[in-house]
Amino acid sequence: MSLLPLYSGVFLAALSLTWLLQKYAPRLHLLDAPISRSAHSLPTPRGGGLSICLLFESSVVYFYFSGFIPQAEFLAISGALLIALLGLLDDVLTLRMRWRLPVQFLTAIWAVYWLGGVAAIDFGLFTLTNPLILSVMGVFAMVWLLNLYNFMDGIDGLATTELLFVNVMSLFFVINSGDQLIGLLSAVLLSAGAGFLFWNWPPAKIFLGDVGSGFIGFVLGTLAIISMQSESFTVWTWFILLGVFVVDSTVTLLIRLGRRENWYEGHASHAYQNAARMYKSHAKVTIRVLVINCLWLAPLAWLSTRQPEYGVLFCGIALGPLILLALRLNAGKLMEFAN
């Protein structure tokens, strides 16, 4: 059965639904007013990621009742709805971290439980096989991923472009592996993300909001665990594909902790934010990240799927230069540039 009409419909629906959200955002209290650390200067609708959430979860329900998705995976992925609801409430009410983190951890535990834990991880010199340790690592990784995706959604088009890149590569990798489930879900994310990007490309008409960024991070984490279990990808493949986001958010966090700053407070000191101020352009930074993804990270991610025993080595090669770049852009320190 051809699913092309479904994916085309998802793209068109994302295009239309995002437009509606943009139009009615002020009435829904989904308007992002600029503050001192904002990258935009005019009030802009947010919460547009709700279109991706609704279309993805609707497709998941369709796939489940069509027999494409097993019950355990369906229940695990459905946890993303709670993350989306939490994000939507945060977009409207601005929830404190002490309310968000417990829900995020409970939802991550839910997903890891239904997926039956996390597959063994080959670190090169040894292989971690302890199921309890792996499950705990999986929970923390999912919570970190959904938060780092939120941290990296600070300039126009960046987080959505990353979503498209990751899922294009995911589709490419599973062509020969026969992993139908990853292929189906990646194609839906790609279609919905492409429809949303039309409105989110610089200058953005609407933002993802926490409802979108947290949802995307959680879903990608779930797909990572599923792909590791089916041996389509290793964890190192996902680290490489998300390399720019992982490195920028982690280096920024560590430097801020070293400076004794509250890690959970809002700021604008990520490397990509400093770069946007330096270039005075969101589009230039987003395009440069895409070039890094395509020319540097994509080939190494592909190698990690062809020779998984060297995955940790390829990951180190991929992320090393990105760490140096983040440090050069003073990640963790707010840099101002003359107009």
Mean pLDDT of 199-226: 97
pLDDT digit string (tens) for 154-195?
999 999 999 999 999 999 999 877 789 999 999 999 999 999
Q: What is the pTM assigned to this prediction?
A: 0.96
Q: Are 318 and 240 in contact (CB under 8 A)?
A: yes
pLDDT digit string (tens) for 96-142?
888 999 999 999 999 999 999 999 999 999 999 999 999 999 999 99
pLDDT digit string (tens) for 56-80?
999 999 999 999 999 999 999 999 9
Mean pLDDT of 45-49: 95
Residue 339 has pLDDT above 60, yes or no: no
- Supply 114's token pair: 């239904």
pLDDT digit string (tens) for 245-303?
999 999 999 999 999 888 777 788 999 999 999 999 999 999 999 999 999 999 999 99
| H-type alpha helices, 231-331 | 235-241, 243-258, 271-279, 282-292, 298-306, 311-328
- Give dist(CA 241, CA 108) in Å, integer: 21
pLDDT at 35: 67
pLDDT at 265: 78
**If you average pLDDT over every residue of the chain, what do you get?**
94
pLDDT at 36: 60
Cα pseudo-dihedral 300, 303, 308, 314, rounded to 10: -30
pLDDT at 266: 78
pLDDT digit string (tens) for 316-327?
999 999 999 999
